[in-house]
Amino acid sequence: MKLEDLKAQYDKLQIKYGAKELTSIYNGGCTNNPDICFVFMNPTGRNIASDPNWKGRKSPWIGTKNIWKLFYRVGLLDEEIYENIMARKPQEWDEKFADLVYENVEKHKYFITNLGKCTQVDARVLPNSVYSEYLDLLCKEIKIINPKIIITLGNQVSSIILKQNISVSQCRKQSFSKKVGGKDYKIYPVYYPIGNGMMNIDKAIEDIKFIIEINKKRCD
């Protein structure tokens, strides 16, 4: 199975749960044993790739700024790309620039996805039942890309993926284990760093830096 094979199922769930005028956002980055797989919540219409007229890649955070600040500050984005992102208005992203950004993501060996792929008009919180419908699809994603570690962003996403109540504030820098396709994956819940969680971005950056460093030492 390939990542491409999952898109039809994502698109069916977009019709069921997403904004009718928008399209699904999938994933992007290093797809062959990335160092990190980042799992966020679900996309919003601020991602300009959700526009039905968009012809390029349909990856997370296209046309936005704040999350790229986090990736830059944890050492996962080159300065030139970061400065270019900061200088652009959302509508100034085009398909070529989106590819350039994600080539840099791939260079730094990480993968970005959302648990829910159904795009909403705004940043409304989806019920657990909707996210749970995507859980098997996320496990298929994980099995395909085979990341070294997984970072889940926020209490809700972390709790659904780990199937237990998770409070990120109570388990900072701690890892949990989840079996996917017969393999145990190490999962680190981290504060959600943008939107309503923007107040926690510095804590998220601190924890992600720690997670990167400790896993780098284990690989050395």
DSSP 3-state assignment of 30?
A: coil
pLDDT digits (tens, 9 = 90+) for 26-40: 999 999 999 999 999
Q: Residue 139 CA to chain centroid, in angstroms?
A: 14
Assign 219 a pLDDT band (cuts: 50, 70, 90).
Answer: low
Residue 10 belongs to domain spanning = 3-219
Find the CATH number of the domain harbouring 177.
Answer: 3.40.470.10
Which pLDDT belongs to residue 114?
A: 98
- What percent of the chain has pLDDT above 70? 98
Give the total number of structural domains in the chain.
1
Run of H or E residues at 161:
helix 155-162
If you average pLDDT over every residue of the chain, what do you get? Answer: 95
**Residue 22: closest CA among 117, 107, 120, 123:** 120
Which pLDDT belongs to residue 123?
A: 84
Assign 56 a pLDDT band (cuts: 50, 70, 90).
Answer: very high
The residue ranking higher by pLDDT, 218 or 174, is: 174
Assign 220 a pLDDT band (cuts: 50, 70, 90).
Answer: low
Run of H or E residues at 101:
helix 95-107
What burial class does residue 32 get, using C-beta atoms within 10 Å of its C-beta: 0-12 exposed, 13-18 middle, 19+ buried? Answer: exposed
pLDDT digits (tens, 9 = 90+) for 85-137: 999 999 999 999 999 999 999 999 999 999 999 999 998 889 999 999 999 99
DSSP 3-state assignment of 203?
A: helix
